[in-house]
């Protein structure tokens, strides 16, 4: 197994560095850094400037420790049996969560799109027609409750549709 690894340590280090840079651009990492910076921006602006750096250092240290542990436990280039089982379990959980998130986001996206079209249509009707403006006058609060009910109902439908099917 080790014969398939590159013999040039500099090339291997460059490849790992480039893959790490690409990994750092994953949306979950960017969202985490953004969230940390925004959270600290109000109360601790000096810390907010360093949030990304601290996150990167901490995340890099954890990844390096895990990689070092895995490398230390390798025997003849084969991963330990427990690591393969854990990896398979994590992959199944990520796939299941990803499938649920995709279904839920599509249902919610459609609901929000239709709500937006409906609200825009009512606004245009009020703008273009005096009769529609008279009918819709004072209806903002009930319409707001209706929008909230539709959003909650579409979320419930999204969660129901995204529920894993029994095997």
Strand partners, 75: 78
pLDDT value, residue 1: 45
Residues 30, 90, single domain; the answer is no
* The pLDDT of residue 156: 82
Q: Examine the domain organization and report whether 7 and 68 are in the same domain.
A: yes
Total of domains in the chain: 2
pTM confidence score: 0.41
Domain extent for 115? 80-167
* One pLDDT digit (tens) per residue for the chain, 167 residues: 445 555 677 777 788 888 888 887 888 788 888 888 888 888 888 888 888 888 888 888 888 888 888 777 776 667 667 778 888 888 888 777 777 777 777 777 788 888 888 888 888 888 888 888 888 888 778 888 888 888 888 888 877 777 766 66
Q: Do residues 124 and 111 share a domain?
A: yes
Task: Mark whether 40 and 30 lie in a shared domain.
Answer: yes
Same domain as 165, residue 97: yes
Residues 54 and 27 both lie in one domain: yes
Domain boundary among 63, 78, 93: 78
Q: Give DSSP secondary structure letters for the chain.
A: -GGGS-S-HHHHHHHHHHHHHHHHTSHHHHHHHHHHHHHHHHH-HHHHHHHHHHHHHHHHHHHHHHHHHHHHH-BTTBPPHHHHHHHHHHHHHHHHHHHHHHHHHHHHHHHHHHHHHHHHHHHHHHHH-HHHHHHHTT-HHHHHHHHHHHHHHHHHHHHHHHSPPP-
């Amino acid at each position: 197994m080790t014969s398939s690894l590159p013999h040039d340590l500099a090339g291997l280090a460059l490849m790992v560095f480039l893959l790490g840079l690409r990994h750092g651009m994953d949306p979950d990492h960017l969202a985490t850094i953004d969230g940390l910076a925004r959270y600290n921006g109000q109360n601790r602006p000096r810390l907010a400037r360093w949030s990304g750096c601290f996150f990167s250092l901490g995340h890099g240290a954890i990844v390096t420790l895990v990689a070092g542990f895995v490398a230390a436990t390798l025997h003849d280039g084969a991963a330990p049996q427990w690591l393969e089982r854990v990896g398979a379990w994590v992959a199944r959980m990520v796939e299941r969560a990803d499938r649920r998130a995709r279904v839920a986001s599509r249902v919610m996206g459609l609901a929000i799109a239709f709500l937006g079209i409906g609200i825009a249509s009512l606004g245009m009707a009020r703008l273009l027609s005096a009769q529609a403006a008279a009918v819709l006058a004072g209806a903002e609060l009930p319409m707001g409750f209706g929008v909230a009910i539709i959003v909650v109902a579409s979320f419930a439908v999204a969660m129901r549709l995204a529920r894993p099917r029994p095997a």
